[in-house]
Structure 1
């Protein structure tokens, strides 16, 4: 799937509305669970606003889905192969962070692989997410520099370094370098 902002915004709008309706949540209920305003959720569902990575993460947590599940095409049969041209790509409108869901969708695997391009100077902070108890991730840096702050401790990653963490802990991604950071996130959803 080529990066097309209008197509992605429309897909996000439809997917958010479908997941909210499937869980029989009103806009007010989703707002209460996620900490995202009712007005913003409504704008996203109408395709009038592009959510940031932080905002989308909070909505996914409130809907009890991962970002990879959120972006996975519905109704597709599981295939063991995920072609690059078919992998969903999403760009955070605030930071320019670009996320490609590499793993084949609709498989029963607990593990998801995400390819990330993170611009110089970008910073994204994720709050603790107790709803994701048991979920862990490895961040494997291929190029550039990355600083990860977890529970107040900052780890500076250089190419080839890999950092393990629990998703339930708040964490901050920061690219302190002058070049984009390219890394993979290997997410384990834990016990199903």
Structure 2
């Protein structure tokens, strides 16, 4: 029983540490680009007050907010999370790959690639039953995207078009536009997002 409690405590601490690291990384990225909170708010469409709360660690941002902020800073969400993790090893063991859970949808995102900001990034996602994660066009402007479904069924909404994807299906995204990952089934869906620098 104590082993289970210890593991749960370790997971909670790791999530808390990563959230704090993301807040710090976001602030450092903004400052290194000479942007004020107001300027980042103008670029991202996220309010200055929300940016301030995120940077102070007073709130855990959703995937949508982080995507907007990362894009406004000229990086992908994967790069932002990986920078927060600050691991430059060439081998990323599964147990060491950082995961992040969207507090709004329960979407779980695992940074599979070992090097942050490399030419190619792999991200494994588990989208719970009934969940939807929408992202603005800016999220897709910095990298080429492909989605490979590993398990379950995913509806990927790309602008006005819906792509229905099953296990083994792989979709290459077109020009950047607002998109959404949707799981209309009653079981979780797992997929791999492959990102290549434009």
Q: TM-score, normalised by structure 2?
A: 0.87
| Contact 2:111 2:122 survives alignment (8 Å) | yes
Residue 179 of structure 1 aligns with which residue?
187
| Contact 1:137 1:167 survives alignment (8 Å) | no
1:68 aligns with 2:73: no
TM-aligned CA deviation for residue 128 of structure 1: 1.4
* SS at 1:51 equivalent: coil
- Deviations, residues 36-71 of structure 1 (Å, cap 9, x unaligned): 001100100111111111110000011001112111
Unaligned runs of 5+ in 1: none
- Supply the RMSD in Å over aligned alpha carbons: 2.1
Of 85, 88, 95, which aligns to 2:95? 85
Of 137, 141, 161, which aligns to 2:169? 161
Residue 37 of structure 2 aligns with which residue?
27
| Contact 1:115 1:184 survives alignment (8 Å) | yes
Residue 110 of structure 1 aligns with which residue?
119
TM-aligned CA deviation for residue 80 of structure 1: 2.5
Q: TM-score, normalised by structure 1?
A: 0.90
Which of the two has greater helix per residue?
2
1:101 aligns with 2:127: no
Aligned residues: 188
Of 144, 159, 170, which aligns to 1:151? 159
Residue 10 of structure 1 aligns with which residue?
20
* CA distance 1:79–1:146, change in 2 (3 Å): same
* CA distance 1:177–1:51, change in 2 (3 Å): same
Distance in 2 (CA, whole Å) between partners of 1:2 and 1:75 is 15
Unaligned runs of 5+ in 2: 1-9
